[in-house]
A = this chain, B = another copy of it.
């Protein structure tokens, strides 16, 4: 793994020289420089300009643009242009185009119109990347690459995917007998008697075998990884000095981000918090989760490759314009939670194309306005604090385990009305954030050393490895929280024939006697202090087998039955939450656990105000962010100095609308 130069703390912009008359370039770059911009991403959609017809490569325009960036001291990240195969490719080699399960074609004229398994896409994609990489491998301005753009699952059912899937299945299972057994195809006479009968799930019916559907997702995840790897191999070979990243977007995606990121140096995220006041109660928290999840992809700091710069809008009606301060505050939120470089999308709104109203920093009029001024302020602040921030990291003692496989399996078979894997994670993460507890969000297969608290939501698919990892965590003194719908299936999406929660029963010291999928109905939960809370979605009726009940149901035929238990395991504890408790309960539970586990809390955070810490050799940097339109007051427990203004702060501090404070302990 090579590549460096991605650890600077800095601000950048996404710029499309090909969209503008060349006479506008130098004024643009000059203004970037003056505003404090340090890095620019280019070319990720420019295939038709780089290779206007088959084999006709034209890099001159990009040379001139990159030379200009270099002249002004800006560094450049180049995107590989495979997300937008040009029309000469798709018209001549239509196997590039994905095919939906019902046979319709995903036509060109948009973006993302490419099957990851297409032979033609691989051929022409590799060729343009080889040329680009060779051309810019030693350009002094170029520091790294972005693969493709915003990968997502297409569930392609083209003939090539069909063939490749068949081969994938054969490689995984070896024999038809094994395949039939592991997928349980005997149900509904779905048994395969010949390999040619194995196909992608045509028709896209949810009635299909869930083991097939999950493996088909796995195949598509691996197809995407293999597609990216074909690019990474070229870039590593030709540009060994450059780093490689990919810009993930819009969580939750049906995507194996962790698998993709194994081939990358650094992860990136495209961050578009919704600026509507109607989203003010949720956007700061779902955004925080997205950032923590991105940091968890490689368990290190990351990039924002596209950051909100104005009202998004496109084929959908435009969103609200960002309130004064909002653009800057969300950029600082990203940095607080581990972003080093924040690249704003985009320098100027596009005058043409489907994204005309996905606004950039500068409007179509090319008159810099309020938003641009705020951006320039941000650049100045970041550049001023860069040396302080560089090398600092987020250190969390709590983790939430995220799994794209659980998410996929739970979408294939929704368990209860209103139950959503990712929405539930949002709730747990939001409770931690409101308590001011720093939390990592990592892949469920990651090692858990160092965590004092691990929340493992709905480990629905499971195996001994998963169970033993959590057991080890608890044995070492950690606190593990399991929830309902854990231990239901083996990894091939087959129900295990043992009491729930399967292998996790050992650690949890509990078994599920019976369950009731209560769905959207509200039910009652009663804790040891006889406090009442709401619960919904699911009610496991628990039989403690060593564990101690700490909450019980308050109604229905299972009133009085244990709903939440805690089990001492090794020197740690394992909680089992048999129902979907409301946020109030989680706040109470996590607060108590945090005190026990000696996690750092920030008491008294108002709604929409977040506290988060980056830690470096010189100590902690405490970020206080007011992500609301109204002034809020927080109480400081120590004496601090503001890194932004130098002011000394302590006790109650008022944060104006979208105010940002970066505080260092007064020594």
Please give the residue numbers on chain A whose beta carbons come within 8 Å of chain B beta carbons, in ascending order: 16, 18-19, 45-49, 52-53, 81, 84-88, 91, 102-111, 183-194, 196-197, 199, 201-203, 205-212, 277-278, 311, 313-321, 323-324, 349-357, 363-367, 369-371, 413-419, 494-500, 513-519, 521, 557
A105-B202, A107-B202 known; A365 vs B413 contact (CB < 8 Å)? no
Give A206's nearest chain B residue, CB to CB: B315
Q: Give the oligomeric copy count.
A: 3
Nearest CB to that of A21 among chain B residues? B497
A196 touches B91 (CB 8 A): yes
User: Which residues of chain B are within 8 angstroms of A49 by Cβ–Cβ distance?
Assistant: 186, 189, 191
**Contact of B189 with A85 in the complex, beta carbons under 8 Å:** yes
Q: How far is the CB of A322 from chain B (nearest CB, A)?
A: 9
- Are B497's CB and A364's CB within 8 A? yes
B48 A207 Cβ-Cβ under 8 A: no
6 inter-chain pairs at a CB distance below 8 angstroms, sorted by A residue, are: A48-B189, A49-B186, A88-B194, A184-B353, A208-B354, A357-B413
CA distance A185 to B318 in the complex (A): 22
Residues of B within 8 A of A369 (CB): 513-514
A203 near B109: Cβ-Cβ < 8 Å: yes
Check A354–B187 contact: CB distance below 8 A.
yes
Contacts A351-B184, A351-B495 hold; do A207 and B517 have CB atoms under 8 A apart? no
* A515 contacts across to B, CB distance below 8 A: 321
Nearest B residue to A418 via CB reads: B317
A189 and B494: CB pair below 8 A?
no
- Give Cα A72 to B10, complex, Å: 78
Q: How many Å lie between the Cα of A496 and that of B211 in the bound state?
A: 53
Q: Would you call A354 and B207 a contact (CB within 8 A)? A: yes
CB contact under 8 A between A356 and B189, given known A109-B201, A110-B203: no
A321 and chain B: residue at smallest CB distance: B516
Query: Contacts of A514 on B, CB cut-off 8 Å?
Result: 321, 363, 369-371
Do residues B351 and A497 form an inter-chain contact, with CB atoms below 8 A?
yes
Contact A188 B110 (CB under 8 A): yes
Contact with A109, one of B46, B212, B352 (Cβ below 8 angstroms): B212
| Least Cβ–Cβ distance between A309 and chain B, in angstroms | 13
* Set B102, B186, B319, B355: member contacting A19, Cβ < 8 A: B186
List the B side residues contacting A81 at CB < 8 Å: 189
Q: Give the chain B neighbours of A199 by CB distance below 8 A.
A: 109
A107 with B353: in contact, given A19-B186, A278-B521, A315-B413 (CB under 8 Å)? Answer: no
Contact of A207 among B110, B351, B357, B518 (CB under 8 A): B110
Residues of B within 8 A of A495 (CB): 349-352, 356, 364
Q: Could you tell me if B184 and A352 are in contact, using CB atoms closer than 8 angstroms? A: yes
Bound complex: CA A117 to CA B318 (Å): 36
Chain B residues with CB under 8 Å of A45's CB are 187-189
**A187–B314 touching, CB < 8 Å:** no
Chain B residues positioned under 8 Å from A196 (CB to CB): 91
Complex contact A193–B86 (CB within 8 A): yes
| A202–B317 CB distance below 8 A | no
Q: Which residues of B contact A205 (CB under 8 A)?
A: 107, 109-110, 315
Contacts of A105 in B (CB 8 A): 103, 202-203
Chain B residues within an 8 Å CB radius of A184: 19, 350-353
Q: Please report the C-alpha to C-alpha distance between residue A18 and residue B557 in the assembled complex, in whole angstroms.
A: 35
State the CA gap A324–B558 with chains docked (Å).
10
* Smallest CB separation, A555 vs chain B (Å): 11
A507: shortest Cβ distance to chain B, in Å? 18
CB pair B352–A87 under 8 Å, yes or no, is no
- Contact residues in B for A313 (Cβ distance below 8 Å): 413, 415, 517
Give the docked Cα–Cα distance between A19 and B189 (Å): 11
A185 contacts which chain B residues (CB < 8 A)? 48, 352-353
* Contact among B46, B311, B349, B499 for A367, CB-based, below 8 A: B499
- With a cutoff of 8 Å between Cβ atoms, the chain B residues found around residue A367 in the complex are 499
Interface contact B86-A191, CB-CB below 8 Å:
yes
Docked-complex contact B317 and A517, CB < 8 angstroms = yes
- Would you call B415 and A318 a contact (CB within 8 A)? yes
Contacts of A52 in B (CB 8 A): 191, 193
A500 and B191 form a contact (CB under 8 A): no
Q: How far is the CA of A370 from the CA of B515 in the complex (A)?
A: 11
- Given the known inter-chain contacts A315-B206, A414-B317, A517-B321, please indicate yes or no for A350 contacting B187, CB distance below 8 A: yes
- Chain B residues whose CB sits within 8 angstroms of the CB of A516 once the complex forms: 311, 320-321
Inter-chain pairs besides A91-B194, A108-B190, A109-B201, 8 sampled, C-beta below 8 Å: A47-B189, A87-B192, A102-B104, A106-B203, A109-B199, A211-B352, A365-B499, A370-B514
Are B193's CB and A494's CB within 8 A?
no
Which residues of the other chain, B, contact A192 by a CB distance below 8 angstroms? 87
Which of A110, A201, A370 has most chain B Cβ within 10 Å?
A: A110
Least CB distance from A228 to B in Å reads 19
In angstroms, how far is the closest chain B Cβ from the Cβ of A261? Answer: 25
> Do residues B193 and A354 form an inter-chain contact, with CB atoms below 8 A?
no
